[in-house]
């Protein structure tokens, strides 16, 4: 059971280079996310996709683009990398747990992370 | 209005002690409050969660205490073990099912 798989695990880029982070989930989830994690700043949402064919900006979308290729795959592209984009990137997918008619909770499943350094 | 404030940023607890991490929120429309646990080199994973209609949720050594009137919730880890050393994130779910995250607490359990 792979869950959420993201590649590459580690990458070093030069300023101005482009790259794409790949992500795939095998849990048949509708929603997928890209987060970045920086020390002392927690998890910040870059983009998310509520369903196949839709994408929306999160808290920190500048400098990034995304593609929801199909229900399984959600990629993140850095068009012109900058040192400020040095971070750990997490792809995630989610499903809802319903307790009753009033409450349901969004459970997010994360990949293992991609460590990106821009020099 | 959308923030979740988490404290402390880091915490050191002796083995066998109680670890307590606190979170506060402003938006009364939040309706689901999970805690995630992240080990070094891994992604966060759901640890325990609570709905706002209950004041406490316990799973093994982990307990969430929820105070709706104060808009605060906390994670208590009883009999803390070195294997509990991790970063813990609280979160709150808004009306669009988006999770608003706390900044995280790095917990170290000393043997």
The pair of structure tokens assigned to B60 is 């093994």
Kindly indicate the confidence band of residue A39, based on its pLDDT and cuts at 50, 70 and 90. Answer: confident
Residues of A in contact with B51 (CB under 8 A): 99, 103, 105
Q: Please write the tens of the pLDDT for every residue from A70-119.
A: 999 999 999 999 999 999 999 999 988 777 777 788 899 999 999 999 99
The pLDDT score that the predictor gives to residue B9 is 95
**Among A25, A68, A45, A1, residue whose Cα is nearest residue B96:** A45
DSSP A16: T
Which of A21-25, A46-50, B45-49, B92-96 has the lowest average pLDDT? B92-96
The pLDDT score that the predictor gives to residue A85 is 98
The pair of structure tokens assigned to B12 is 């050191």
Q: Which residue has the tokens 């095998």?
A: A26
Residue B42 CA to residue A92 CA, distance in Å, equals 12
Q: Which residue has the tokens 């709150």?
A: B92
pLDDT at A43 over 60: yes
Average pLDDT over residues A12-32: 96
Residue A15 CA to residue A82 CA, distance in Å, equals 5
User: Taking the mean position of all CA atoms in its chain, how far away is CA A78?
Assistant: 12
DSSP per residue over chain B, as a string?
A: ---EEEE-SEEEEETTS-EEEEEEE--TT---EEEEEE-TTS--EEEEEE-TT-SEEEETTEEEEEETTTTEEEEEESS--GGG-EEEEEEEE-TTSPEEEP--EEEEEE-
Chain A interface with B: residues with Cβ < 8 Å? 4, 31, 40-45, 48, 90, 92, 96, 99, 102-113
The pair of structure tokens assigned to B94 is 């808004």
**Cβ B43–A105 below 8 Å, yes or no?**
no
- The alpha carbon of residue A118 is apart from the nearest alpha carbon of chain B, in Å, by 19
Average pLDDT over residues A33-42: 91
In this prediction, what percent of chain A has a pLDDT beyond 70?
99
- The alpha carbon of residue A57 is apart from the nearest alpha carbon of chain B, in Å, by 12
The pLDDT score that the predictor gives to residue B2 is 66
Question: What are the distances in angstroms from CA B77 to CA A108, B51, B62?
Answer: 22, 19, 5
Question: What are the distances in angstroms from CA B69 to CA A65, A114, B41, B73, B93?
Answer: 41, 40, 37, 10, 17
DSSP A112: -
CA angle A14, A116, A10 (to 5 degrees): 110
Q: Which long-range contacts (CB under 8 A, 24 or more apart) does B57-60 make?
A: none
Low-confidence ranges of chain B (pLDDT < 50): none
The pLDDT score that the predictor gives to residue B32 is 94
Nearest to A43 among B34, B46, B89 (CB): B89
Q: Which residue has the tokens 């009364």?
A: B28
CA angle A69, A74, A76 (to 5 degrees): 115
The pLDDT score that the predictor gives to residue A1 is 63
């Amino acid at each position: 059971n792979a869950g959420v798989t993201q590649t590459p695990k580690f990458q070093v880029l030069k300023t101005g280079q482009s790259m794409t982070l790949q992500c795939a989930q095998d849990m048949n989830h509708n929603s997928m996310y890209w987060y970045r994690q920086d020390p002392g700043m927690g998890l910040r949402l870059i983009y998310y996709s509520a369903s196949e064919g839709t994408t929306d900006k999160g808290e920190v979308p500048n400098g990034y683009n995304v593609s929801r290729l199909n229900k399984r795959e959600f990629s993140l592209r850095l068009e012109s990398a900058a040192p400020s984009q040095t971070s750990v990137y997490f792809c995630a997918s989610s499903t809802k747990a319903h307790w009753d008619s009033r409450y349901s909770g969004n459970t997010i499943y994360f990949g293992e992370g991609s460590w990106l350094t821009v020099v | 209005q959308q923030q979740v404030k988490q404290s402390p940023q880091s915490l050191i607890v002796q083995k066998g002690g109680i670890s307590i991490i606190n979170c506060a929120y402003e938006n009364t429309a939040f309706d689901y409050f999970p805690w995630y646990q992240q080990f070094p080199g891994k992604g966060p994973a759901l640890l325990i969660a609570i709905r706002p209609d209950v004041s406490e949720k316990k799973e093994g050594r982990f307990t969430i205490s929820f105070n709706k009137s104060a808009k605060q919730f906390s994670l208590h880890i009883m009999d803390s073990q070195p294997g509990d050393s991790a970063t813990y994130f609280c979160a709150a779910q808004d009306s669009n099912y988006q999770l608003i995250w706390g900044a995280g607490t790095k917990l170290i359990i000393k043997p």
